[in-house]
């Protein structure tokens, strides 16, 4: 029960930090520069040009709430609480920022640097949310509806929609802002995957040692992980060896390397990065 509570608290913190990163990158760097990289925030950038009496935060809130209602009606129980929470929190954060820090112009005179921050901060935040089964809502809700009712390639469909929203910035704001937005769309498509892969990277160890007992003990009792072992024979000296196979998080991997060096400085260790592990204690495991 205590572990479950800790996990829930951790998820709640991640929900808020991921949403805040997305809101900060969007409000302080995308909106003032009129960068549109698709999605609801990109559409709001274009619409505020034609309806200047409305703020970006207002348009995002209206569209997100409309999509939220659509998701609740069409998806029912399939519509996750996390996405519901983040959609409301994201819209609220934008409105609070509009009230506390009104933005009438970009923060700096370096549009490319602001483009990078306007892409990477939301990409980082989105990756954190995706990693715990949530999203910032918006067009992701449309994707969930399309996935349920239609047979089509969702990722490609959303990319096409985002591309057309981005192209609209050429008409609204001219070629300079349009080209910046196109570059931002391309960077974003890679950035989310990069952050997601980095968050899910584990260290896979193949340890060949003469002194396995202390390593076993550290893996099981300190790191609370498991391992697979089998006996082998060294080719040159024909001595008995123990091979330990285990997977650890990046932080655990650093600690395990230190213990291996202390326990058996002559151990032969192969370490590889992997983001796809299926099994108990990892994603996809029971």
**Cβ contact 133:144 at 8 Å:** no
Instruction: Write down which residue in 167, 199, 231 finishes a domain.
Output: 199
Q: How many CA atoms lie within 13 A of 228 on its CB side?
A: 7
Same domain, 133 and 73: yes
Indicate whether 116 belongs to any domain.
yes
Nearest 5°: phi and psi at 244? -115, 125
pLDDT higher than 90, residue 26: yes
> Could you tell me the residue range of the domain that residue 248 belongs to?
202-274
**Cβ contact 223:216 at 8 Å:** no
pLDDT higher than 80, residue 158: no
Q: Which of 54-68, 130-144, 185-199 has the highest mean pLDDT?
A: 54-68
pLDDT of residue 176: 92
CATH number of domain containing 270: 3.30.70.120
Instruction: Write down which residue in 144, 175, 199 finishes a domain.
Output: 199
Lowest mean pLDDT among 24-28, 136-140, 245-249, 266-270: 136-140
Same domain, 100 and 168: yes
Banded pLDDT at 153 (limits 50, 70, 90): low
Same domain, 238 and 111: no
Same domain, 140 and 8: yes
Provide the domain count of the chain: 2
Same domain, 141 and 232: no
């Amino acid at each position: 029960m205590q572990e479950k509570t800790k996990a829930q608290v951790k998820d709640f913190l991640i929900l808020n930090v991921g949403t805040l990163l997305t809101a900060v990158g969007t409000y302080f760097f995308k909106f003032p520069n009129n960068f549109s990289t698709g999605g609801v925030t990109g559409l709001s950038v274009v619409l505020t040009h034609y309806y200047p009496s409305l703020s970006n935060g207002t348009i995002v809130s209206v569209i997100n709430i409309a999509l939220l209602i659509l998701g609740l009606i069409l998806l029912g129980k399939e519509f996750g609480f996390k996405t519901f929470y983040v959609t409301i929190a994201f819209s609220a954060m934008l409105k609070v920022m509009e009230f506390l820090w009104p933005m009438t112009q970009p923060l700096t005179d370096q549009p490319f640097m602001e483009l990078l921050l306007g892409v990477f901060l939301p990409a980082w935040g989105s990756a954190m949310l995706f990693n715990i089964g949530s999203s910032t809502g918006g067009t992701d809700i449309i994707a969930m509806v399309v996935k349920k009712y239609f047979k089509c390639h969702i990722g490609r469909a959303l990319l096409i929609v985002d591309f057309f929203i981005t192209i609209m910035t050429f008409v609204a704001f001219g070629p300079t802002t349009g080209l910046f937005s196109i570059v931002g769309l391309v960077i974003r498509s890679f950035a989310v995957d990069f952050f997601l892969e980095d968050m899910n990277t584990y260290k896979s160890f193949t340890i060949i040692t003469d002194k396995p007992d202390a390593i076993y003990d550290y893996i099981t009792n300190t790191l609370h992980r498991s391992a697979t072992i089998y006996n082998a024979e060294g080719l040159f000296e024909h001595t008995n060896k123990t091979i330990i196979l285990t997977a650890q998080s990046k932080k655990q991997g650093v600690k395990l390397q230190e213990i291996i060096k202390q326990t058996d400085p002559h151990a032969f260790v192969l370490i590889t990065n992997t983001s796809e592990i299926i099994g108990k204690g990892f994603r996809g495991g029971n």
